[in-house]
Amino acid sequence: MSDKTVISVDTAGGDKGPAVVLSGLAQSAKKNPDIAFILHGDEAELTKLLRRRKVLRDVCEIRHSDKVVAMDDKPSVVLRRSAGTTMMNALDCVAKGEADVAVSCGNTGALMALSMLKLRKAPGVDRPAIAVLWPSTSAHGYNIVLDVGADVRADDRTMAEFAVMGAEYARLSFDIARPRVGILNVGSEESKGRVEIRRASELVAKITPAAGDLEYLGFVEGADIVGDKVDVIVTDGFTGNIALKTAEGTATFISDSLRAAFTKSIMSRFAAAIAYTSLRRLQKRIDPRRVNGGVFLGLDGAVVKSHGSADATGVSAAVKLAFRMGKTNFAKRVAERVALLPEKRQTHEAGEGT
């Protein structure tokens, strides 16, 4: 397996079970000969599933575990009972260097807590963050938003780290050299919002040039998350989590209303049948399952969180991202960028310089 990028997969923990996860891995393996998997899950079940998947047989190694972290387990409970779970074992392979990156469909809070425990923060990083791709009107079709829930608070130095880490993720995802970055606020004028956020904006403008290759554009508003003003939206985990869930709720609400509108009368059912392809295309675009996988930035190792209800295509998308992260040594590059920021005790002086 040594020439391949090895992905350590937690096959349990998702809503749809290992069969769907393996179907996603098969999609990826078909397209990409440079990929290999270590599968964590029930050996008997995985062996049976692999029998049906020729393309996976020679690129998979099974590590047995029947202990699973449940979707509704609290992180505190998980931490106490994590030993030997498929999630912990998947991370362990990355920690030991057996795999380049870990992928899990499991509980986000638990995955972050165990990743912190097992992989630790990367040197120089104060607070890791969860970043998501968000559908937008930009040329590359998505924006990046962070943090969406790793930590509920973020001071000005943390915001600067988020900006640098988010920009690195934008370079990986969108192939752009100089990502545009904004901080989420209640208005785009410099005078808007809380004192802390104005101070954070000043510091980000001041110290991120040291970490290079990003264009800081100041404040952006909620509507800019789906717009083309910036590529990376930086916010604290509290605000980011609420914005994400509000947007998901709004998208689901509209999808459901659309479905209701199209089943209301015989004419509208007829129209829906004709417009089926167009409607499917739209639904794909706004479907949270396709985009709400997240990556954990700032850890000493790469972890991709696929959405709990991801189907095979969703899992395959997560694997593709994981492959690119493994191949390019992404986690290390993020840490190197953050290390270019002035040291923490100097940050304050830099921030107060003018």
Subset of 71-130 contacting a copy of itself (CB under 8 A): 74
Q: Which is nearer to a copy of itself, 265 or 346 (CB)?
A: 265
Binder to a copy of itself among 190, 253, 332, 352 (CB under 8 A)? 253
Phi-psi sector, 232: left (phi>0), alpha (psi -120 to 50), beta: beta
Q: Which is nearer to a copy of itself, 172 or 243 (CB)?
A: 243
Q: Which is nearer to a copy of itself, 103 or 247 (CB)?
A: 247
The count of residues in the chain is 354
* Closest CB 177 distance from a copy of itself, rounded Å: 26
241 binds a copy of itself (CB under 8 A): yes
β-strand partners of 220: 184
190 binds a copy of itself (CB under 8 A): no
Q: How far is CA 30 from CA 26, 241, 310, in A?
A: 6, 35, 19
Contact between residue 345 and residue 143 where contact means Cβ atoms under 8 Å apart = no
Q: Beta strands 129-135 and 101-104: pairing type?
A: unpaired
Subset of 259-288 contacting a copy of itself (CB under 8 A): 261-262, 264-265, 267-268, 270-272, 274-275, 277-279, 281-282, 285-286
DSSP state letters, 306-337 = --TT--HHHHHHHHHHHHHHHHTTHHHHHHHH
CA distance 116 to 93: 14
Q: Which amino acid is at 297?
A: L
Binder to a copy of itself among 31, 52, 57, 194 (CB under 8 A)? 194
**Residues contacting residue 349 through CB under 8 Å, at least 6 positions apart:** none
Contact between residue 288 and residue 244 where contact means Cβ atoms under 8 Å apart = no
* Closest CB 219 distance from a copy of itself, rounded Å: 11
Task: Identify the three-state secondary structure at position 45.
Answer: helix
Binder to a copy of itself among 244, 312, 315, 334 (CB under 8 A)? 244
Task: Identify the three-state secondary structure at position 108.
Answer: helix
139 binds a copy of itself (CB under 8 A): no
* Region near a copy of itself per CB under 8 A, out of 35-43, 61-69, 210-218, 250-258: 250-258
Q: Which is nearer to a copy of itself, 56 or 130 (CB)?
A: 130
β-strand partners of 181: 216, 232
Instruction: Count interface residues toward a copy of itself (CB under 8 A).
Output: 60
- Footprint of a copy of itself on this chain (CB under 8 A)? 74, 135-137, 149, 152-153, 184-186, 189, 191, 193-194, 221-227, 235, 237-239, 241-254, 256-258, 261-262, 264-265, 267-268, 270-272, 274-275, 277-279, 281-282, 285-286
